[in-house]
């Protein structure tokens, strides 16, 4: 099947992104046009080009509703269109032909709202907006609801949390080496007490760390980076 010019542009942009090549002026223009076509952010379009997957429609739909409440008609209509394209398309190429092949009334209503939001009077916008929201919810329900979409979004968040957690653990280990040195200066047979999952700090709050040693001493790392080894009554034994 012969590719449309839109699909060819996508292949050209994808190739450059995968090779790490910079966009020229034509590429930048085409990229902006692709953002307009999809209704997605530049970051999401880049990700879609590389991964061949669409962004979360739930994210765009939620953002669209928030913007509509703030009476930001143009921005809300764009986000709603982004939600529609993300919902109905499996990859970014399918957005190129969505309007031509889709039989869903939502596509026509949402695209009209996207194109003419600025010129529509408030009441006219609200009426069309309500129609789009109704059609969108009906379509989501027909496609099985939000369960799978929410799971995908949750998975993404968990993966991001794990990356940050692993980085935090690495940084903590660097600090804990110095804490162990301070503890052993006081008692060579004492160690920082670790929990079952190997996580040593008792608390992490207000940018401060609190530890306890196996022999009952307490260690504090304050927000200025100072480390204090203390008795239970708060008496400072050593610091660095």
Classify residue 176 as exposed, middle or buried by CB count within 10 Å of its CB (0-12, 13-18, 19+). buried
Cα(209)–Cα(171) distance, rounded to whole angstroms? 12
Shared domain check, 135 and 23: yes
Same domain, 135 and 166: no
Short-list 24, 229, 35, 32, CA closest to 44 = 35
Residues 113 and 168 in one domain: no
Domain boundary pick from 145, 163, 179: 145
Last residue of a domain, one of 91, 112, 145: 145
Tens-place pLDDT, residues 125-177: 999 999 999 999 999 888 766 666 667 777 878 788 888 878 877 887 888 78
**Quick one: DSSP state of residue 234?**
-
* Statement to judge: residues 168 and 218 lie in one domain: yes
Residues 159, 140, single domain; the answer is: no
- Based on the domain organization, do 141 and 181 belong to the same domain? no
Split into its structural domains, the chain has a count of: 2
Residues with Cβ within 8 Å of residue 82, at least 6 apart in sequence:
38, 39, 40, 44, 55, 60, 64
**Residues 29 and 139 placed together within one structural domain of the fold:** yes
Pair 140, 158 in one domain: no
At 39 the pLDDT is 98
What is the SS3 assignment for 213? strand
* pTM listed for this prediction: 0.62
* Shared-domain flag, residues 174 and 65: no
Question: In a 10 Å sphere around its CB, with 0-12 CB exposed, 13-18 middle and 19+ buried, how is residue 226 labelled?
Answer: exposed
Considering 101, 119, 145, which residue would you say is the last residue of a domain? 145
Question: Which positions of the chain have pLDDT values less than 70?
Answer: 1-4, 144-150, 193-207
At 195 the pLDDT is 56
Instruction: List the domain range (segments joined by +) for residue 195.
Output: 152-239
């Amino acid at each position: 099947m012969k590719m449309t010019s839109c699909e060819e542009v996508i292949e050209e942009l994808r190739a450059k992104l995968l090779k790490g090549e910079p966009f020229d002026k034509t590429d930048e223009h085409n990229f902006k046009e692709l953002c307009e076509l999809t209704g997605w952010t530049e970051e999401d379009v880049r990700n879609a080009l590389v991964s061949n997957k669409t962004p979360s429609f739930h994210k765009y739909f939620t953002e669209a509703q928030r913007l509509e409440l703030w009476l930001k008609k143009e921005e809300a209509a764009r986000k709603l269109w982004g939600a529609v394209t993300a919902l109905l398309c499996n990859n970014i190429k399918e957005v190129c032909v969505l309007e031509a092949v889709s039989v869903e009334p939502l596509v026509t209503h949402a695209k009209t709202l996207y194109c003419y939001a600025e010129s529509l009077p408030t009441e006219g916008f609200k009426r069309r907006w309500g129609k789009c929201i109704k059609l969108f919810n009906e379509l989501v329900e027909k496609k099985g609801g939000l369960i799978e979409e929410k799971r995908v979004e949750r998975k993404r968040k968990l993966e991001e949390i794990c990356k940050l957690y692993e980085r935090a653990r690495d940084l903590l280990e660097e600090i804990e080496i110095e804490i162990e040195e301070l503890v052993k200066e006081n008692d060579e047979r004492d160690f920082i007490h670790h929990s079952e999952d190997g996580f040593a700090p008792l608390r992490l709050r207000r940018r401060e760390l609190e530890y306890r040693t196996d022999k009952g001493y307490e260690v504090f790392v304050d927000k200025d980076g100072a480390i204090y080894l203390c008795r239970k009554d708060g008496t400072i034994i050593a610091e660095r």
